[in-house]
Structures are given as C-alpha cells and as structure tokens.
Structure 1
Amino acid sequence: MAVSIVDYELPHDTHNVYDVSFHGDRIHTLVTHSSSVVDSWLAQTNLQSRIVGLDVEWRPNYNRSIENPVATLQLCVGPDCLIYQLLHTEHIPQALHAFLANRSYTFVGVGIGSDVEKLLLDYGLHVANAVDLAVFAAHRFDSTELRNAGLKGLARQMLGKEVQKPNRITMSRWDNQWLTCDQVQYACVDAFLSFEIARHLNV
C-alpha cells in the first residue's frame, strides 16, 4: 500500500504520535494543541535543512458570511511533521512566532500565499519567507501549466508519486478536538510532499 498510518495511542491529553508511511518514506508525526509540546518539537527537531513544508486546514465554510479560522498548522522538516491544533491551544508560543518570522527558513507549499495570509489574520502569525511551489516550478521550467498545478499534480510531475485527496477528508471537521487517523495522514502527507517537492526543485 502506498500510504498507511500507525497510531501510538499515547495516554496523554496534550498530544499523540503517529508514523505515516508514504511510498517508502516514514514520517514521524506529532499532533498536539499544547504550546509547551510545540516548544519541545521546535527545540528538538533538526532544522538544518532550512526548508519547511507548511500547510493549514480549517473547517469548510458553508455559509458565505462565516469565515472559519485555521484549525491546524502543519510543519514538516524531512521525516518529522508537526500538526498543531491552533484552534484548541491555550496560547501560541513565542518560539513559533520567532520560527515563522525567521527569514533564514523558507516555508514552502502550493497556494501558500492564502495560507500565510489566513495565519496572519486569524492568529497574528507572520510567515516571513514563503515560496509557492507551483510558481517556483513554473519559473524553473518555463511552464504556464505548472503555475496552475495543485499539490497532487506537482507530486506526480516532480516526484512521480500519486497522492489521493478524498473529498470526505478534505471537507471534514478539522475543528474537532481529536483528529481521525485519516485526517492525520492527509495533513501530514500534504506538508511532507511540499517539503519533498521543494527539495527536488532545490528551492
């Protein structure tokens, strides 16, 4: 199977850990709403690559007059992924503000401009150095077609990897306090693919 997940079922209210396997890669994934756990992840994760896959999820907006806030922020550095449940956190740690605002790091994703804007509007989180992978690939290969590619298309073209994005998960309740294994797997793979595509493109 191209993708699978192992739930460690930790006995904690603050966090849980999963291993997501995707086309031979194993991504160690931490899911938490705790600011202190996020502090620890930032302190312990090897951030030497300077490239960070970034993605966000929120509850789908079915009412045009209501704009639901970002529910989860996903950060991926190589085989390490953080899914931070912003909607349920007690407060956002200063270390995360500093990390996202550090121009030494390049945060990458497809359509990342709107994600970065929403993080700023919803939580005051400023991402200083963001690169849209579709735009970057379009420039690199002089292709207008790539500029409109989604993550699924870029993963296929750049990495030769197929990813499934079922609507039942894309449009699911990302604001729930406890995410399902399917949601964790989906959120992790999106951020991981962004990291891998950026690495492939030498962003």
Structure 2
Amino acid sequence: MDVPAVQPSSNVAFHKGERVLLDRASAGRPKQLEDLKRKFQSALESTKCLVGLDMEWKPDRCKENSNHVALIQLAFGGSVWLVRTCEIDLPHFVRQLLKDSSVVKVVAGLDSSDRNKMQSSFGIEVPKNPEEAGFVDISLLARECGFVGSGVKKLCERYGLPIEKNKKVSCSNWAAARLTEDQLQYACDDAFFTLLLGGRLLQEEKVSPSMLRTRARAACDLVLPVAGLSMRTKDMSERRAEVNAFLQELNEAISRACEAEGVAKFPVAKLGQLRDKIGVAFGDRASLLLVPLGARFLKEQCQLFGISKQDHVWARSAAETAPFTDEEKSLEWASAPEKSLQTWLSLQQPRMAKQELLGRLGLLARAFEGVEESAKAFAVRKQACELSASATDSPDPPQRGQAARSAAGLRPSGNTKIVECRPRPLRKKSDPQTVVARGIPKQ
C-alpha cells in the first residue's frame, strides 16, 4: 500500500534553548529559591510580560479520579521554565504571574477542564472569558481564522514548523519521581511552540482585535525573532521509516486476524497480543518504538486503519486507500452531491466491498479538509452517510480454522472459539461518566 502512515516530513522542529527546572532539588532551600525568583523576574521583564504556558498532569482514568497539575511549563522567549508542582508548592512568584492580568499568557485550548485543574490544584480561578485574566488562546485564534485543526501540532504544520507530539509521552505519568528526557523535551516543546504560534496567529487578518491581543502582538514582534533562535531541527527519517514499517505490518496482521476469527473488525484492546510473521508481539514492538496502540493514535493513521465507535479496528485495503484521481476530486460534490456520488461509484473497482467504499469516501472528505474545501468535505461526508444507510453488504464469512489462526499470529488455545464483534449498547446521553485527559478539548 503506497500510503504514508505518518507525517511525511523527515525534519522535526524542537526547542533547544535554556531549560530551568524548579523541583525539590533546585528550589528546596530559601537562598536557592530567592536566586531563582530574581532570575524569573528578569526573564519576565526581558519578554515584555509575554509568556507561553502549558500544564501537565497524570492522566485522569475516571471522573472520580482527578489528579492535580504535576508540571507547569512557562516559555520566556527562548528559555523554558519547568515547575514540578507535584514536588513543591507553587512558588509565590509563579502564582502571581498566573493571576496577573497584565502578563500575557499564550495558551493552547484553555477549556473548562484546564480551568478546573487550576482551581483545584492552586486555588486560582480563571474567568469564563480567559482574556479577562490575560490568557490568549491560540485555539480560539485559529478558529476565528477558519483553520481546519486548532491543536498545536496542526498549527505548527500550517506554519512550516513540524513537531513531534508522541501520544505515549503525552499520556505518561507526569508525577513520576523522575521525568524522562522525552518528557522534558515534550514539555518544553509544548510551551515554546505555543508561544511561537501565538505570534504567527496574531498577525492573521481575520483575528478579532482587542486591547490584550494588540499588546500581545506588540510583545511578540519584539521577543519572538530572538526566541526563534532557540529552535532546532533534526532528521527523523529513520524513525519514521521504522514506524511506517510497523504500522504496515500491523495492518497486515489485523487482516489475518479478522480472517482467522471470521469477523470484520478486531478489538483495539487485543492488538498488543497479535504477533508479526516472526512471532514478536506487536505490544512489545510498540513499547520499543514509543508508539501507543490505542484508538486515538490509530484514528490518526486513518490511511491504514478504520476505527468503530466500539473501539474495534479494521485494516484498510489497497483499493480503499489508492491515490485519488483528478476525476474523483473534480466532481461537483458541493453543487450536485447525489449525481457526483453515482458518478464516483462508477469510477471505483466493481468488486469493492461497501466498507471499502465508505472508507474511501471518508478519506476523500479528509483530503478536501486538508486543502480547506469545507463545502466539498461536508457534501462527501453527507453522501457517505446516505450510502451507509442503504442496503448492507452480506459477504460470505472467510474460512476459519487453526491454520488461519496461526497465519494471523494468534496464540493457539485448547478452548479456542470464534468470537463475534457485537457492538456494545450505546450509552445514554444522561450518563455522566467521562474521562478527561490532559485537558484535551471535547470537540
């Protein structure tokens, strides 16, 4: 399948400036803390009261388990301060910065869960309109500009600053006794690139003006040209090739497993148990590559995998993911959607299963989103829904047996039985159970 599974750029941008760590060791004595305070105030003055802000905490696994903020990242131009609030009380000079509305704090996606975290962790209340307290949210700026994707990674790609956002590191234990180098780099990158993106977005014509944003833009114009000198790039082509090879082999293993079990989809929770052609478990390989085998990560690899609402995965076929032709893309999807769908169906291979057709339509809609043809993307998705609601396919189930199970890399078992992938009952809207991880916006 000639489809890139991850971001094609081989160069990745990262922060390589000064890193200051405030933890039990560095801020444990009054004299040390006083020296750090003077250095902190000097850094704030040098950036004209402009700072990039992010927070991390141990992932909340359920609603009842709400962990406090474990790390605060503050980017002062090219230097990033990391405050380990899981080890020390929030220093009073950091608290003052967070509460001071005259300090411009550039953030990414400061939603209600983030505000609740600040309240429960530090007793700091952020108003419903965070700009009243000096917070400039780049996600809000991006939406005002009509950009597709308002997260840090997507926005960095838009401005030619490809960064690495490893989900396994993102959802790691930020309250661990010792942070890894990967965690430290991730934390610095989040605050640093949030600050850089703030400068880029504030220059966009569609951004609504305000006194705070005008002040923020003036500070960005002065500070960020120098801050940009703390950015470096590294060649990630070798790692990208390893991850792409891993995902391609996983795609093939899922196909073999579905054939062996006689089902169309495979549970995401069991992917780690699958084995490659030489008998190595994909869970072990994923750990070595720092690749999460969760539904969220697999959704990002949409060119190779499809994910159901019940967290079951299927492998996309070569026909489903083949490059789109000019004829497919030039159809009048927005003005004549039904006619375009019929013409599009006639262009596809005659033996494509319905699931493949639906998947290909979904990928086509994503392709239009990538070039911001939102009207076309909406029309394609609507036609995919109508096609899905029509008569379903009923293909003959694949052959079952121990030979098929062995080919799929599944361990033999004395009491093996074929398991159907039955959908779980939908949860009622009134069910209050949710999982909030790292303050990721619900949308």
**TM-score, normalising length from structure 1?**
0.78
Q: Which residue in 2 is equivalent to 1:27?
A: 17
SS in 2 for 1:43: helix
Matched, 1:50 2:49: yes
Matched, 1:136 2:168: no
- Matching residue within 107, 117, 121 for 2:105: 107
Distance 1:136 1:85 in 2: 29
Aligned AA (1:131) = V
Distance 1:54 1:38 in 2: 18
**Which structure: greater helix fraction?**
2
Distance 1:41 1:200 in 2: 28
Distance 2:54 2:110 in 1: 7
Q: Which residue in 1 is equivalent to 2:78?
A: 79
Alignment length (residue pairs): 178
1:86/1:68 Cα in 2 relative to 1: closer, same or farther (>3 Å)? same
What percentage of residue pairs aligned between the two structures are identical?
27
Matched, 1:193 2:193: yes
Distance 1:168 1:62 in 2: 15
Structure 1 residue 67: deviation in Å? 0.8
Q: Which residue in 2 is equivalent to 1:70?
A: 69
**TM-score, normalising length from structure 2?**
0.37
Distance 1:76 1:2 in 2: 23
Structure 1 residue 2: deviation in Å? 4.8
Distance 1:191 1:67 in 2: 23
Aligned AA (1:29) = R
For the Cα contact (< 8 Å) 2:119–2:125, is it kept in 1?
yes
C-alpha RMSD over aligned residues: 2.3
- Identify which range, 93-102 or 28-37, moves more after superposition: 28-37
The runs of 5 or more residues in structure 2 that have no matched partner are 1-9, 127-132, 203-216, 218-443
Structure number with greater Rg is 2
**Which structure: greater strand fraction?**
1
For the Cα contact (< 8 Å) 2:52–2:106, is it kept in 1?
yes
SS in 2 for 1:100: helix
Distance 1:116 1:188 in 2: 21
For residues 153-199 of structure 1, give each alpha carbon's deviation from its aligned partner in whole angstroms, at most 9, with x where no partner exists: 11111x31111111220111100132111000000000001110112
SS in 1 for 2:54: strand
Structure 1 residue 201: deviation in Å? 2.5
Structure 1 residue 115: deviation in Å? 2.6
The runs of 5 or more residues in structure 1 that have no matched partner are 4-20
SS in 1 for 2:16: strand
